[in-house]
Amino acid sequence: MLVKAYIISNNSIKRKSLRYKMIEVFKENFFKYKIISDQEEVKVNSNNLINRLRLFYYYFSRFSFDLEHKNDGNMIKKFFLKIFYLIKLVLKCYFNKNEKIKLNLKKILIDNEISKKHIKAWRDFINNKAEYIFVCEDDILCNEFSSKRLKKLLFELKKNNIDLEYIDLAGGYTLEKVIPKNRIIENNKSFLKTKGIYTNTACGYLVSKRIILNWINQIDKKRSNQKFPIDFLINYLGTKMKINSYSLHFKDSIFVHGSFNGEVDSWQNIFNANPNYEN
């Protein structure tokens, strides 16, 4: 099975060794690979009113989608949660100092730039012969068994023609908090399988070409999709697909999201310590 791999990077020197370890995994599995690191400079408008309106728009858009994505069918509950959040957000955007508004907005814009890097990888992938894309961010960690488990997974996918088109490889948030119960079709000691595309973080994932083509088509039709951070974006695009698809999440993930478990310093932590950080 042909796989093209991409590392989403900010060229951090501290993460150089992590990138090399992933490149070794790619070579062991005979993947062609590319590092995606270029991004636009993040700039915040000098107009404080525009910044407040933009921040309000981004926050409310993300909250509204997250609420729909975790839909439990209770429309009344969702309505009141939206109203409560809307009031809280209006107060926040009105009373917070300009500097805090700018910092929060800058965080969101950096998130958006990371999403653009993932999209750049997707666009490159659809123009080659590979059947699956493996995307990871450069805070992904591997252990002595990661490469072997990955090789076994690919062998099983090819041998049994398994209908999985999105496979989470690096874990993250507790699955039960991310995936609606009514979308889970298999839940055992090893993995959780869902109908539809769901991700709990986007640190490492394997996706079929059919799905990526669908996502790129959606993005080209509606550029505003890029207002989401990458994990939100994947979930958003997944909910908008009009095709049957399945995803898999390992209980013991093949790789580890280093920033999530604290073994790698996240860009958010670095940003909080140094607001001039550009990722």
Q: What would the pLDDT profile of 157-205 be if each residue is shown by its tens digit?
A: 887 766 678 999 998 888 877 888 888 999 999 999 999 898 888 999 9
- Two tokens, residue 34: 């590319």
Asked if the model's pLDDT at residue 59 lies above 90, the reply is yes
Model confidence at 253, pLDDT cuts 50, 70, 90, reads very high
Asked if the model's pLDDT at residue 224 lies above 60, the reply is no
The Cα 272–Cα 179 span in angstroms is 29
Highest mean pLDDT among 9-13, 33-37, 69-73, 275-279: 33-37
Terminal Cα distance for the chain, rounded: 34
Q: Phi first, then psi: what are they for 220, rounded to 5°?
A: -65, -30
CA angle 61, 66, 72 (to 5 degrees): 135
Of 2-6, 71-75, 136-140, 217-221, minimum mean pLDDT range: 71-75
180-191 b/e (C-beta count within 10 Å ≥ 16 → b): eeeebeebeeeb
180 and 262 Cβ atoms separated by less than 8 Å: no
What is the pTM for the complete model shown? 0.90
Mean local confidence (pLDDT), 62-78: 77
Mean residue pLDDT of the chain comes to: 88
Q: What's the helix, strand, coil split of the chain in %, to 5?
A: 55, 15, 30
Asked if the model's pLDDT at residue 73 lies above 80, the reply is no
Mean local confidence (pLDDT), 228-242: 89
Asked if the model's pLDDT at residue 7 lies above 90, the reply is yes
User: Residue 132 forms beta bridges with which residues?
Assistant: 3, 208
83 and 64 Cβ atoms separated by less than 8 Å: no
Q: What percent of the chain has pLDDT over 90?
A: 59
Q: 152, 116, 135, 133: which is closest to 41 by C-alpha? A: 116
Mean local confidence (pLDDT), 266-279: 63
The confidence score (pLDDT) of residue 264 equals 84
Q: Provide CB contacts within 8 A for 247, sequence distance 6+.
A: 164, 165, 166, 167, 168, 193, 194, 196, 197, 198, 199, 238
